[in-house]
Structure 1
């Protein structure tokens, strides 16, 4: 993957970086960047404000004993509500996907399509007066150049690309007049035969996974091994893949991969934080792959985090967990994206 950098419109200074307005996001999805609002002492940009808004909302729900990924989704039905761009038909990804899914649910929308004002206008539709839009992250790509105008290349000779970070406002299709009718719902009873993408993701990871006749699933960093119950022990493929994605997310934190560092053992603060990262990642991967999501186990992860979290700055910690979950998700999805068509 070519090196990538992103520039913030606020011209602020990124943590640990020397160039104002330039944010290195190498080996991350370009739609998932955590920008520290305190960096350089400047006023938070719209991008930073959006990151803070999402973290604040999630924190508030967690403190109330719930969270976006604990909504009353029916197991496996998450894909039917996944937010998509109503103009391009492409699903939103990462934090945008999570945010629009939650906001759509909160506001009672059954149509998963979201478009910008201009996209609606181009389609011959019209955003109603007084309609409330939702902010999302957007990145405008560019190719880095040398002083002589030639493309900058990474160590493998590939162009180094970048992006300008900003935000956009999108409106739900239910608040737009003359919007084309929504295609029929894709929600249905799922079967094991539907899980091809889930199997492909597991296989592409190369993780060492052992299946045993037992009731627990866990990852052991020392042996770098994931242990899962046998498939037939799960009530559905949704439960199996939600569990597998959770443990694979832990696996990405190994020092040879994303290196999230060692945690402080079962029951400690860092352990609880890692569980939060893994469950968030499982939720995001479920939406990306279409394997569905099983929320029944997430309450324990949430309660553990709430009891052991860092009391000094919980909002910043949630923001960091979102950042790490997005990186873990992209790490696991990238091999599928790189496969030849």
Structure 2
């Protein structure tokens, strides 16, 4: 009997979604109120769980475990499907005479509230709509403007890329993009790359197998997931979405060759997004974003142009 492998199982779940023509990390969502979350704890799901549950397109974002359903005096509808949620559990092991804790991937299952009967509807919060004066593009701008240790952003360049050696983001003129959404989608993609710099999360050096030159690398998926997440919380859709057959087949090939790929990428993307959101200046204090080149010695920097 084949041993159960949670990494393989998780990968197969994403493979199923891709084979159905759904790219989980490109699902549109509009606000923090629409994030998949547990109905009882109100905690949003994170990492892999976030993208996987979001990909089913439920109108209401709430889920419950079987025990929570029972505790609420409700029951699961007949033939309803449950969804896997993964988490890390720390285990104590002894190595070389010393005890240390190591993380182990574990899982449990949840049901969407539409598959629950007998649940008091008063327990289900209404999802608030945006106020009329909500300005998503202004919010997009502020997310970068108030990021206190953001890289310098150079506009009017001939391509979009992040240059680690300079810790700078190059962007074309915003007016050259088909829309403001397309501009910010691209900018966020490069910003997520920048979070990996050694003076921030040091992702680029800690994980030497990210393969920056591979369009289907862990680093590229981290940037795609992170950019889509930032677009969603700002209230815009990711305008750089590619759902072509070739694109999907590229990711399918990568996933099938590396069973830990999706878990690693989604975890790193979550950390990158958290970093940007947690390192914001108060909104009343503006941080200028330089757009002109300073004089510097001529160098031939390596760019992460994805």
8 Å CA contact 2:185–2:231 kept in 1: the answer is: yes
Unaligned runs of 5+ in 1: 1-41, 153-159, 265-269
Q: Name the structure 1 match of 2:147.
A: 203
Aligned: 1:132 with 2:81: yes
Unaligned runs of 5+ in 2: 281-306
Q: Name the structure 2 match of 1:173.
A: 113
8 Å CA contact 1:127–1:177 kept in 2: the answer is: yes
* Equivalences for residues 256-275 of structure 1 within 5 A: 257-259=202-204, 260=208, 263-264=212-213, 270-273=214-217, 274-275=219-220
Measured in 2, the distance between the counterparts of 1:201 and 1:321 equals: 31
Q: Name the structure 2 match of 1:3.
A: none
Distance change >3 Å, CA 116–CA 77, structure 1 → 2: same
Measured in 1, the distance between the counterparts of 2:145 and 2:74 equals: 38
- Select which of 36, 44, 67 maps to 1:83: 36
Measured in 1, the distance between the counterparts of 2:97 and 2:68 equals: 37
TM-score by length of 2: 0.67
8 Å CA contact 1:94–1:284 kept in 2: the answer is: no
Q: Name the structure 2 match of 1:220.
A: 163
SS of 2:147's equivalent in the other structure is: helix
SS of 1:324's equivalent in the other structure is: helix
Deviation of residue 57 (structure 1)?
2.4
8 Å CA contact 2:37–2:44 kept in 1: the answer is: yes
Aligned: 1:249 with 2:192: yes
Q: Name the structure 2 match of 1:183.
A: 125
Deviation of residue 327 (structure 1)?
1.1
8 Å CA contact 1:142–1:163 kept in 2: the answer is: yes
Deviation of residue 164 (structure 1)?
4.4
Q: Name the structure 1 match of 2:48.
A: 95
Distance change >3 Å, CA 97–CA 164, structure 1 → 2: same
SS of 2:87's equivalent in the other structure is: strand
Deviation of residue 314 (structure 1)?
4.7
- RMSD value, Cα: 4.3
Give the total of aligned pairs.
Answer: 269
Aligned: 1:116 with 2:59: no
* Equivalences for residues 255-334 of structure 1 within 5 A: 257-259=202-204, 260=208, 263-264=212-213, 270-273=214-217, 274-286=219-231, 290-299=233-242, 303=246, 306=249, 314-317=255-258, 320=261, 323-334=264-275
Measured in 2, the distance between the counterparts of 1:124 and 1:238 equals: 45
